[in-house]
C-alpha cells in the first residue's frame, strides 16, 4: 500500500502549502475579492430571508410569487412559501424565452464516438414531447418515476421531463443490480420505470433492459416501462401492455407542451443513498429551494461565464450528476459536456481527448479518477492540448495532497485554481468550497463555507469546539437546498439528522477548522464508507453477505485503497461449506447480485468468529486496523475472544 492512498489523514494534518488564485483569474472572476465574499456571507447569515428572497426573485422564474421566504420549525423547513415555479422551466424554457435558445445546452459524446449537440431550444422540444408522453401513459403530479438509464441526452430529458409535469424522479445508477432496483422501486412505490436496451461500457454492451425485467418481476407498483433504443439491432424482449419504446412514446407528442406551475415545496426528486443502517434511504429534495441552491452554488463555485464549456464527469445516478450536470448548470444557462462511457476506452486518454476536442474550460471530477489517471501514466495526458481549461473541481471525498498537486500541475498547467467541494446528497449542492477568484487554497481542505452555510464543529454534548479541535460537523442554519426528508420515513429523517442536536443538521462527517477558518473533513462518524466517491453502508454489504446460505455472520469495514480511497474488507464466518477461493469468488458475485459491482468486497477473510464487545457490537476499529495491515491499536480489553484476532491475522488472503 503506497503512502499516497486516499484518506491518509497524516498528510492532510501537516499540509501547509497555500495557493492563491492567479491574478489573471481573479481579474475576470464573478466574485473577485475576499471583501465581496464576506459581504455575501454575512448578508446570508444575518438576514437569510432578505438574502434568499432577493436571490430567488432574481434567479428563478415564478408563475406565482412566494409570500414568505422561510418557515423554519426545526427540523421542518419550507422555502419560498406560496410560490409557484418549475425546475424544468428554469433550466430550459427560461433561456429560450430570453432569446438564448440557440446556445448549446448539452454536448454529448457516446462511448463509441457518436455525438449529439442539443441547444436549449432543442432541449425544450424534447422535454415537451417526453413530458407529454409520460402524461399520456398515466403519469401524474406526485407519481414516482424510476430512471435506470445510460448517460445519454435522454437521461437528462427524462429527469427534466418528470420535473416538467411534477412527477418525482428517482434515478438509480445503472451499475446497480436488479435487487437494488426492485428495493428502490418498492420503497418509492414507483409507477413507471425508464430504461434503455443497453449501454456501452468499455466497448461492451450491458443489457440494461434484462436487469430491469428481473427487477420488475419483484416491483408490483410499476405499471409501465419505457425503453430507449440506445443500441440498434439488439434483440430486446418487450412485454405486451407494459413496455413501450421511447421513440413510440414521443412520436406524436407536441413540441410545446407547457411546464406545470408547481409549489415551491413540491417534491422534485428522490435519490437513494446509504446511511448507517442496511437499508438505503430516499433523500427527498423539493423544487424551488433545491433549484436555486444548485444554480447559485454552480455560478459561485465554477465562476460561470457565458462562453464556458463545462464538464462534470459524474453519472446522473449520483447527486453530483443531478446538481452539477442538470439542475445547476442548466438553470445557469451553461453549456454542458456529457460523456457516456469509461475514461479508459478506447484508451486511457479519453478524457483529455474530449477536453481538447470540445475545448472544455471547466472540469469537475473525483479524486478516485485523478488517482487512476496518475497510475495510468502522464504520457496519456502529454499527448493532448489542455490549454482550454481554466478551472478544475473535485468532489466525492477529500482529495489527498499528492493527487491535488498532480491535478494542479499536470491537468491545470499550474494556472487553473482547484475547487475542492464538500457536500452531500442531503445538502443538495456544494456547502464548502474555495471561490476560485478569491480563496487561497490548501491541498486537502475544502476551505470555507458558501454564503448561506453556517458550519459548526461540536463535541458529543453539542458544545462548539475551538479551532483545530476535531469534532462532529453540523450545520446550524437552514439553507434552501437542504433535504426535506427521507421518502416515506419521517421518523428516520428526524432520528438520523436531528436527534443528536435538535437545532442543528448532523452531517455525519468529522471535521476541524484551522486558524484561518478553513475546514478539513476528517471522515465519517458512522458506519458509512466511501468507495470511489460513492457512499456505502458497511451494514448494507454485511446484509448482502449474510443472505448467502453459507454465511453465518459477516463484518465489513473500509480499508485504505490507493485508487478508490477506501476498499471493502469483509470478515466472514461460515455456517457450512469450506473457506475456499471458490467460495470467496461466489460471495463476491453474490454481493454484486444483491447490490451491484461497486459493493463487491475487495477482500474476504474467513474467520472462526467475528470479534465483538461484551455488549455484542462488532469491533470495527479493530477490524479496520487488521484490514489495513496495522498492528492492533488501542484498548482491546473488551474483546470477547482474543483468539479470534489471532485467527483473522493468520487467514490473510493477500
Residues of this chain that bind ligand WT7 (CB under 6 A)? 273, 318-320, 395-398, 420-425, 446, 507-509, 521, 524, 530, 533, 535
Residue in this structure with the C-alpha cell 468532489, named with its chain if needed:
395
CB of 501 to ligand WT7, least distance (A): 17
Nearer to ligand WT7, 191 or 504 (CB): 504
Cα distance between residue 163 and residue 196, in whole Å:
20
The answer on whether 110 is annotated among ligand-binding residues is no
CB of 397 to ligand WT7, least distance (A): 5
Cα 393 → chain centroid: 14
Cα distance between residue 340 and residue 502, in whole Å:
42
Nearer to ligand WT7, 62 or 519 (CB): 519
The answer on whether 532 is annotated among ligand-binding residues is yes
CB of 366 closer than 8 Å to CB of 400: no
CB of 588 closer than 8 Å to CB of 603: no
CB of 610 closer than 8 Å to CB of 553: yes
Cα distance between residue 578 and residue 563, in whole Å:
32
Nearer to ligand WT7, 144 or 312 (CB): 312
Nearer to ligand WT7, 264 or 400 (CB): 400
Q: Kindly state the cell numbers that stand for 168.
A: 418525482
DSSP state of 92: I
CB of 429 closer than 8 Å to CB of 423: yes
How does DSSP assign 179-248, residue by residue? HHHHHHHHHHT-SEEEEES-EEETTEEE-HHHHHHHHHTT-TT--EEEEE--STT------TTTEEEHHH
The answer on whether 204 is annotated among ligand-binding residues is yes
The answer on whether 422 is annotated among ligand-binding residues is yes
The answer on whether 592 is annotated among ligand-binding residues is yes
CB of 534 to ligand WT7, least distance (A): 6
The answer on whether 516 is annotated among ligand-binding residues is no
Closest CA to 13 of 401, 563, 474: 401
The answer on whether 286 is annotated among ligand-binding residues is no
Closest residue to ligand WT7: CB criterion:
425
The answer on whether 164 is annotated among ligand-binding residues is no
Q: Kindly state the cell numbers that stand for 270.
A: 428522490
Residue 632: Cβ within 10 Å count: 16
How does DSSP assign 479-546, residue by residue? -TTS--EETT-HHHHHHHHHSSSTTSEEEEEEEEE-TTS-EEEEEESSSEEEETTEEEEHHHHHHHHH
The answer on whether 274 is annotated among ligand-binding residues is no
CB of 314 to ligand WT7, least distance (A): 8
Nearer to ligand WT7, 76 or 424 (CB): 424
Cα distance between residue 216 and residue 372, in whole Å:
36
Cα distance between residue 585 and residue 410, in whole Å:
38
Nearer to ligand WT7, 157 or 456 (CB): 456
What's the farthest any 2 CA atoms get from each other in the chain?
A: 73
CB of 511 to ligand WT7, least distance (A): 9
CB of 473 to ligand WT7, least distance (A): 8
Nearer to ligand WT7, 397 or 594 (CB): 397
The answer on whether 397 is annotated among ligand-binding residues is yes
CB of 367 to ligand WT7, least distance (A): 8
CB of 508 to ligand WT7, least distance (A): 6
CB of 530 to ligand WT7, least distance (A): 5
The answer on whether 90 is annotated among ligand-binding residues is no
Nearer to ligand WT7, 174 or 212 (CB): 174
Nearer to ligand WT7, 123 or 446 (CB): 446
Cα distance between residue 287 and residue 119, in whole Å:
23
CB of 522 to ligand WT7, least distance (A): 9
Closest CA to 430 of 398, 395, 456: 395
Nearer to ligand WT7, 124 or 566 (CB): 566
The answer on whether 471 is annotated among ligand-binding residues is no
Cα distance between residue 86 and residue 60, in whole Å:
9
The answer on whether 203 is annotated among ligand-binding residues is yes
Annotated binding-site residues for ATP read 396-398, 420-425, 509, 524, 535
Annotated binding-site residues for Mg(2+) read 546, 548, 551
Annotated binding-site residues for CoA read 201-204, 320, 344, 532, 592
Annotated binding-site residues read 201-204, 320, 344, 396-398, 420-425, 509, 524, 532, 535, 546, 548, 551, 592
Amino acid at each position: 500500500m503506497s503512502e499516497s492512498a486516499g484518506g491518509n489523514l497524516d498528510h492532510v494534518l501537516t499540509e501547509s502549502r497555500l495557493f492563491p488564485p492567479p491574478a489573471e483569474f481573479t481579474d475576470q472572476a464573478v466574485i473577485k475579492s475576499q471583501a465581496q465574499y464576506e459581504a455575501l456571507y454575512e448578508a446570508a447569515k444575518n438576514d437569510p430571508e432578505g438574502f434568499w428572497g432577493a436571490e430567488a426573485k432574481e434567479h428563478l422564474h415564478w408563475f406565482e410569487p412566494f409570500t414568505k421566504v422561510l418557515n423554519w420549525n426545526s427540523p421542518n423547513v419550507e422555502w419560498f412559501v406560496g410560490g409557484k415555479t418549475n425546475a424544468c422551466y428554469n433550466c430550459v424554457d427560461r433561456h429560450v424565452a430570453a432569446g438564448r435558445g440557440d446556445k448549446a445546452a448539452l454536448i454529448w459524446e457516446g462511448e463509441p464516438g457518436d455525438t449529439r449537440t442539443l441547444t436549449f431550444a432543442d432541449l425544450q422540444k424534447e422535454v415537451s414531447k417526453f413530458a407529454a408522453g409520460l402524461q399520456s401513459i398515466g403519469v401524474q403530479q406526485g407519481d414516482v418515476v424510476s430512471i435506470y438509464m445510460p448517460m445519454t441526452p435522454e437521461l437528462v430529458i427524462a429527469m427534466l421531463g418528470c420535473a416538467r409535469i411534477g412527477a418525482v424522479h428517482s434515478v438509480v445508477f445503472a451499475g446497480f443490480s436488479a435487487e437494488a432496483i426492485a428495493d428502490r422501486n418498492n420503497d418509492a412505490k414507483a409507477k413507471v420505470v425508464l430504461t434503455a436496451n443497453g449501454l456501452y461500457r468499455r466497448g461492451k454492451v450491458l443489457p440494461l433492459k434484462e436487469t430491469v425485467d428481473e427487477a420488475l418481476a419483484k416491483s408490483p407498483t410499476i405499471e409501465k416501462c419505457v425503453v430507449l433504443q440506445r443500441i440498434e439491432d439488439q434483440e430486446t424482449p418487450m412485454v405486451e401492455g407494459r413496455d413501450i419504446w421511447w421513440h413510440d412514446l414521443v412520436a406524436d407528442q407536441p413540441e410545446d407542451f407547457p411546464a406545470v406551475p408547481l409549489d415551491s415545496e413540491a417534491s422534485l426528486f428522490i435519490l437513494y443513498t446509504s446511511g448507517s443502517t442496511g437499508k438505503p434511504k430516499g433523500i427527498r429534495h423539493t423544487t424551488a429551494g433545491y433549484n436555486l441552491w444548485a444554480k447559485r452554488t454552480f455560478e459561485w463555485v465554477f465562476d460561470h461565464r457565458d462562453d464556458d464549456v463545462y464538464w462534470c464527469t459524474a453519472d446522473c445516478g449520483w447527486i453530483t450528476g443531478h446538481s452539477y450536470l442538470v439542475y445547476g448548470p442548466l438553470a445557469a444557462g451553461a453549456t454542458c459536456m456529457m460523456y457516456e462511457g469509461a475514461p479508459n476506452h478506447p484508451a486511457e486518454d479519453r478524457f483529455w481527448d474530449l477536453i481538447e476536442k470540445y475545448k472544455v474550460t471547466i472540469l469537475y471530477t473525483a479524486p478516485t479518477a485523478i488517482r487512476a489517471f496518475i497510475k495510468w501514466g502522464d504520457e496519456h495526458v502529454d499527448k493532448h492540448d489542455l490549454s482550454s481549461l481554466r478551472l478544475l473541481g473535485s468532489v466525492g471525498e477529500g482529495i489527498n495532497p499528492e493527487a491535488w498537486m498532480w491535478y494542479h500541475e499536470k491537468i491545470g498547467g499550474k494556472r487553473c485554481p482547484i475547487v475542492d467541494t464538500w457536500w452531500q446528497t442531503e445538502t443538495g449542492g456544494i456547502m464548502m468550497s474555495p471561490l476560485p477568484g478569491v480563496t487561497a487554497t490548501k491541498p486537502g481542505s475544502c476551505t470555507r463555507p458558501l454564503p448561506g452555510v453556517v458550519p459548526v464543529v461540536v463535541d458529543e454534548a453539542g458544545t462548539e469546539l475551538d479551532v483545530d479541535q476535531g469534532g462532529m460537523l453540523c450545520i446550524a442554519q437552514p439553507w434552501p437546498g437542504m433535504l426535506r426528508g427521507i421518502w416515506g420515513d419521517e421518523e428516520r429523517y428526524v432520528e438520523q439528522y436531528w436527534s443528536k442536536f435538535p437545532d442543528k443538521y448532523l452531517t455525519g462527517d468529522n471535521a476541524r477548522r484551522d486558524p484561518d477558518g478553513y475546514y478539513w473533513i476528517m471522515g465519517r462518524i458512522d458506519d458509512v464508507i466511501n468507495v470511489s466517491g460513492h457512499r456505502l453502508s458497511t451494514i448494507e454489504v454485511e446484509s448482502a453477505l449474510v443472505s448467502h446460505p453459507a454465511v453465518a455472520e459477516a463484518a465489513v469495514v473500509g480499508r485504505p485503497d490507493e485508487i478508490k480511497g477506501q476498499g471493502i474488507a469483509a470478515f466472514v464466518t461460515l455456517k457450512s461449506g469450506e473457506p475456499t477461493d471458490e467460495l470467496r469468488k461466489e460471495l463476491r458475485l453474490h454481493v454484486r447480485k444483491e447490490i451491484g459491482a461497486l459493493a463487491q468486497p475487495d477482500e474476504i477473510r474467513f474467520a472462526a468468529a467475528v470479534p465483538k464487545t461484551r455488549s455484542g457490537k462488532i469491533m470495527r476499529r479493530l477490524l479496520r486496523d487488521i484490514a489495513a495491515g496495522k498492528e492492533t491499536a488501542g484498548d482491546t480489553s473488551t474483546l470477547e475472544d482474543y483468539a479470534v484476532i489471532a485467527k483473522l491475522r493468520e487467514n490473510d488472503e493477500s
